[in-house]
Amino acid sequence: MTSVGAADTGVRAFLAEHTPFQSMPDEDLDELVAGARVEEFPAGAVVADYASRVPDDVWMVLDGQVSLHASADGAVIDTVNRGGIFGYTPMLVGGGMQFEARTSLPSRLIRLPGALVRSQFASPAGLAFLASSAWNATKAVRPLGAAGGQTVGELVDSEVLTVDPHTSVREAVIEMTRRRMSYALIRLPDGGLGIFTDRDLRTRVVAAGIPVDVEISRVMSAPARTVTADLTTETVLMEMLESGVRHMPVLTGRGDVIGVLEDADLLAASARQSFMLRRAIGSAADARELQRVGQRVRGMAGELFRNGTKASAASAILSVVVDSLVRRALEIALAETGGVSAGFAWLTLGSVARREAMPSSDVDSALSWSDESAPRADELRGVAARTQSILDGCGLPSDRNGAVAAKPGFSRPASQWRAAAQEWLDHPLRDRGLIMSSLLIDARVVWGDTALHTAAAAYRRLRDHPEALRLQLLDALSGRVRTRSLRDVLARRGGTFDLKSHAVTPIVNLARWGGLSAGLTTATTPARLAAAAQARAISTQDATTLGDVFLMLQRLRMAHQVEQLTAGHTPGDVITMSELSPLNRSLLNEGLREIAAVQRRVRQSGIPPV
């Protein structure tokens, strides 16, 4: 380690560019720089061990990278890059904490006097910095893979920070820092809950120029989004991802607060990348920057899976991130063309719409616009073409079968979509009606007015069209011979097998029909199977069996595709049977038998021919 003074190394300008020192008065900044030192460390050097002492100094990364490792097992709990600081939380709480800071790369670090930094944390900028990051590096992390079958009530810590509506923001943040909590709940006079987090501090206090002595009730988020303790971790994770919140109060059935769930309660350290990746996507300034970020998306799913996240959860998280990528690509395309951003909706189709994306998934899409926008059809299709071009550069190719929003068959005015859906229901064998219906039934609006997805209303009344419903069923059962013939391949342990086409798709199609029988359109395959059982379209046992087989197949697909990504190959669903382990070969063989058995039972249930 070598040490040099800070005066001649550009440290003053560097500090002034980074939080929490950006708004520091000149004389205070000069004093801070005078007491600072720049120290150089090789890779792998221990900078500080916070388990043994309370630090006197705070560190900022000038260049390089520092990892914070849990003292118990050495696991990485946070990474600090250029401009980041560490060592302030133990100093503020006045006690040692169970982690050490270690350089990941050769690094230059700025050692800052703790006493001078401490005073800066009392300023609005310092409070905002604390609320956004002070607790993240010290929170215990539980991997989603281990928590996959748990309810959120089993995960939350019983300690809850609740403050009075008249508490000042300053008092609340000081208490949040002292207790290492990243939120404060506010009990409202009507019995409801408000919540105050780092986002509220940044956007409603600091950015708005409101003094930190204001009452917290003026700047809280209310009512707070809440969940009940009986919900599964995966269900709540998806709600948090889709809504963009990082805190979720957990209530009993009677409405009592038993804890506050945070994203780190559900996500392994690597899985936090999905949140960070979505933020990077949202802040991408242009197509090139978005494409650089987008190239990381498929790898994120692989890392989630390798680190213990269940395949179904990794797939759902990947779908959410792809949605973010599509939205930002569309916004960039609109900005480039100068087109208006209202009056149309972008629909995602296929596996991404069902929240079942895999690294191999392409982008199926459609476009619907208001009838008043009909004269702009060519312009809107041009925006769709540019959007897909951006996504291609992100590693998300358009649908190989032509379900692309830039094409006339998949881009129409809302009234034409409504009429087309009705025609496909009345005459499902015309104009590829059965195929188009299957695509539009899965469709989900990811950008624009959801009311412009006019086909959805028609498909919710599919039970009024028994012929179309029967054809959906017959299509779902049509894979019987193909599936049975490929079982022979499995028995010989040779050849190749397409997991998607010959195993997953029959379940997806049968679940789609079952969901439609229950009046359910856009949904995941497991949700459709559950609805089908409730509507008695299939038995509860068959729904459970197909659901279990589907999850097993998704696990096999994800494992296979992650191996392909690791080897630098394009991911896909064709596997070589001899390369499967005996256990997985047996599971796949048994799964195919179960699919065929359910198909046979449904066929024998007396469905009349068309």
Using one digit for the tens of pLDDT, what is the confidence trace for 549-606?
999 999 999 999 999 998 889 999 999 888 888 888 888 988 999 999 998 898 887 5
Instruction: Collapse the DSSP code of 605 into the 3-class scheme (helix H, G, I; strand E, B; otherwise coil) and give the result.
Output: coil
Instruction: Collapse the DSSP code of 473 into the 3-class scheme (helix H, G, I; strand E, B; otherwise coil) and give the result.
Output: helix
Q: Is residue 126 part of a domain?
A: no
Q: Is residue 429 part of a domain?
A: yes
> Which two tokens mark 528?
């459709």
**Which CATH number fits the domain that encloses residue 33?**
2.60.120.10
Q: Which of 197, 228, 263 is the last residue of a domain?
A: 263
Higher-pLDDT residue of 507, 246: 507
pTM of the model: 0.64
Query: Do 298 and 224 belong together in one domain?
Result: no
**Which CATH number fits the domain that encloses residue 214?**
3.10.580.10
Q: Which of 427, 459, 491 is the last residue of a domain?
A: 459
Half-sphere exposure of 320 (CA within 13 A, CB side): 23
Query: Do 195 and 298 belong together in one domain?
Result: no
Q: Which among 503, 512, 524, 527 has a CA at the least distance from the CA of 594?
A: 503
Least confident of 88-102, 134-148, 291-305, 596-610: 134-148
Query: Do 396 and 451 belong together in one domain?
Result: yes
Q: Which residues contact 528 (CB under 8 A, 6 or more apart)?
A: 511, 512, 514, 515, 518, 520
Task: Quote the mean pLDDT of the chain.
Answer: 81
Range of the domain at 167: 144-263
Using one digit for the tens of pLDDT, what is the confidence trace for 468-477?
778 888 878 7
pLDDT reported for residue 132: 52
* Count of structural domains, the chain: 4
Q: Is residue 608 part of a domain?
A: no
271 residue type, one letter = A
Query: Do 303 and 424 belong together in one domain?
Result: yes
Using one digit for the tens of pLDDT, what is the confidence trace for 566-582?
888 999 999 988 888 88
Rounded CA separation 281/446 (Å):
15
Query: Do 337 and 432 belong together in one domain?
Result: yes
Query: Do 481 and 541 belong together in one domain?
Result: yes
Q: Is residue 477 part of a domain?
A: yes
pLDDT reported for residue 341: 60
Rounded CA separation 580/273 (Å):
30
Residue that has been written with the tokens 């012929």 in this structure = 467
Query: Do 222 and 294 belong together in one domain?
Result: no
Rounded CA separation 507/509 (Å):
5
Q: Which of 218, 235, 263 is the last residue of a domain?
A: 263
Q: Is residue 133 part of a domain?
A: no
In this prediction, residues 3-14 reach a mean pLDDT of 67
**Which CATH number fits the domain that encloses residue 531?**
1.20.120
Higher-pLDDT residue of 519, 147: 519
For 18, 109, 366, the CA distances from 102, given in Å and listed in that order, are 22, 11, 49
Query: Do 274 and 259 belong together in one domain?
Result: no
